[in-house]
Amino acid sequence: MPDRRQFLLLAAAVGAGASLAAVVPAKARPAKLTPEQSERLQAANAYLSGLKSVQGRFNQVDAQGNETSGTLWLKRPGKARFQYDAPADLLVVSDGANVMVNDRRLKTFDQYPLWATPLGLLLAKQVRLDKGVEITAVTDAADGFTVTARDGRKQTEGAITLHFTAAPLTLSGWTVTDGQGQRTQVAIGPLHEIADPDPQLFVLRDPNPRRGKN
């Protein structure tokens, strides 16, 4: 079975607590962007800010090569749901304030502030890849480009790399690496706009409300 820690990386990255920073060593420095790279960064900003309510499929590969898949829903600003296919039996939900991770197989429930996870970057009302984070690379790829960022507050090591395809510009996935260099890659299929997603998709309560109580 895939390592549960890798599932938590997706929760912290959107897809798996860590913080926004999770592929660049701590010694990496902010990149000095060329005009072309700056233009691509602004295009990525505009694209992500333009995402409203969408649904699609995702495929995740963790550092050990374990592969899982599932369905995602995004409702910006603030809300997301990552529902893993069996046998993972894992659910990750952002309700606009917190990111909850329910592993029903292990009977665990974890919660993180949205702002402390990379989901906070993607689900912000106005996405600003040029503020609050440090861009360490904007790199050409065979089918588009990637943007690598780390925590601008420097509270954690690592980074998140967002993958974009071109013509048309589309978010195709992301790569997250923790401070120990463990990498989780997530590819997402075509995102389809949905007019009015069920509000209950973005609600997740601890199935054991007495958890943590004496």
- CATH number, domain with residue 109: 2.50.20.10
Q: Does residue 28 belong to any structural domain of this protein? A: yes
Rounded mean pLDDT, 120-141: 77
Distance CA(170)–CA(38), nearest Å, equals: 17
Q: Does residue 146 belong to any structural domain of this protein? A: yes
Q: Indicate the pairing of strand 108-113 with strand 133-141.
A: unpaired
Q: Does residue 67 belong to any structural domain of this protein? A: yes
pLDDT at 73: 94
Encode pLDDT of 61-115 as tens digits. 888 888 999 999 999 888 999 999 988 888 999 998 998 889 888 888 888 888 7
Distance CA(92)–CA(81), nearest Å, equals: 6
Whether 8 shows a pLDDT value over 90: the answer reads no
**Per mean pLDDT, which range of 95-104, 114-123, 194-203 is the poorest?**
114-123
Encode pLDDT of 139-192 as tens digits. 998 889 998 887 655 545 557 788 999 888 999 998 886 667 778 888 998 889
pLDDT at 187: 92
Which residue reads 């590819």 in tokens? 187
Q: Does residue 25 belong to any structural domain of this protein? A: yes
Q: Does residue 161 belong to any structural domain of this protein? A: yes
Whether 26 shows a pLDDT value over 60: the answer reads no
Query: What are the residue ranges of helices labelled H in the chain?
Result: 4-13, 35-50, 119-122
Q: Which domain holds residue 30?
A: 4-196
Contact 112, 17 (CB under 8 A): yes
- Between vectors from CA 111 to CA 11 and to CA 171, what angle results, nearest 5°? 25
Contact 45, 90 (CB under 8 A): no
Q: Does residue 10 belong to any structural domain of this protein? A: yes
- Residue 48's SS3 state is helix
Q: Does residue 37 belong to any structural domain of this protein? A: yes
Q: How many domains does the chain have?
A: 1
CB-CB neighbours of 166 under 10 Å: 13
pLDDT at 120: 74
Q: Does residue 202 belong to any structural domain of this protein? A: no
Rounded mean pLDDT, 193-210: 87
